[in-house]
Amino acid sequence: MKEDAPKQELHDNARQAVAYGSPNMIRRIAINTGGGDAPGLNAVIRSVALSALNRGWQVVGIRRGYEGLIDGEPDSVIPLDRDAVRGIAHLGGTILGTTNRGDPFQYPVEKDGRRVPTDVSARIVQRFRELQLDALVALGGDGSMSIARRLMERGLPRVVGVPKTIDNDLRGTNVTFGFATAVATTTDALDKLHTTAQAHCRVMVVEVMGRHAGWIALHSGIAGGADVILIPEIPYHLDRVCEKIRERYLRRSDFAIVVVSEGAKVAGGEALYKLDKDDFKEHAVLGGIGDRLAREIEAATGREARAVVLGHLQRGGSPVSFDRLLAQRMGCAAVRFLAQSDRSGMVAQVGGEIILIPFEEVVGGIRGVDVHSDTIETGRDLGISFGDEPIGTFLNRVAAHGVADLTREPPATAPAAADASGVS
Ligand code: F6P
The CA-based dihedral angle spanning residues 119, 93, 161, 212, taken in that order and rounded to the nearest 10 degrees: -80
> Ligand 1 in contact with 210 (CB < 6 A)?
yes
pLDDT of residue 16: 38
Asked if 61 and 80 touch (Cβ cutoff 8 Å), the reply is yes
pLDDT of residue 392: 65
With 70 as the cut, is the pLDDT of residue 366 above it?
yes
Confidence of residue 403 (pLDDT cuts 50, 70, 90): low
pLDDT of residue 396: 60
Beta-bridge partners for 60: 30, 79
Inter-CA distances, 396 with 145, 246, 248, Å: 51, 13, 14
Asked if 369 and 174 touch (Cβ cutoff 8 Å), the reply is no
Going from the N-terminus, what domains does the chain have, and what CATH number goes with each?
5-177+319-361 (3.40.50.450), 181-315+370-400 (3.40.50.460)
Task: Name the residue at shortest CA distance from atom 10 of ligand 1.
Answer: 36
Distance separating alpha carbons of residues 318 and 398, to the nearest angstrom: 47
Distance separating alpha carbons of residues 81 and 58, to the nearest angstrom: 8
> Ligand 1 in contact with 100 (CB < 6 A)?
yes
Which among 37, 41, 100, 275 is the best mutation to test ligand 1's pocket, defined by most ligand atoms within 8 Å of the CB? 100
Comparing C-alpha atoms, which of 165, 214, 183 is closest to residue 346?
Answer: 165
Which among 165, 211, 261, 282 is the best mutation to test ligand 1's pocket, defined by most ligand atoms within 8 Å of the CB? 211
Share of the chain above pLDDT 70, in %: 87
Q: State in Å: Cα 350 to ligand 1 middle.
A: 25
Conformation bin of residue 64: beta by default, left when phi > 0, alpha when psi is -120 to 50: left
What is the helix, strand, coil percentage profile of the chain, to 5?
35, 20, 45
Mean pLDDT of the chain: 89
Which pTM was predicted?
0.87
161 compared with 408, residue with greater pLDDT: 161
Distance separating alpha carbons of residues 139 and 61, to the nearest angstrom: 11
Q: How far apart are the first and last CA of the chain?
A: 35
Task: Name the residue at shortest CA distance from atom 16 of ligand 1.
Answer: 285
| Residues 188-245 pLDDT 10s | 999 999 999 999 999 999 999 999 999 999 999 999 999 999 999 999 999 999 999 9
Active site residues: 167
| Residues 275-290 pLDDT 10s | 888 777 778 899 999 9
pLDDT of residue 278: 79
pLDDT of residue 281: 75
Q: How is 280-317 classified by DSSP, letter by letter?
A: SSSSPEE--HHHHHHHHHHHHH---EEEEE-GGGGG-S
Distance separating alpha carbons of residues 382 and 164, to the nearest angstrom: 31
Average pLDDT over residues 370-397: 86
| Residues 114-127 pLDDT 10s | 999 999 999 999 99
Closest ligand 1 atom, residue 210 Cα: 6
Other CB atoms within a 10 A radius of the CB of residue 23 amount to 10
Residue type at position 224:
G
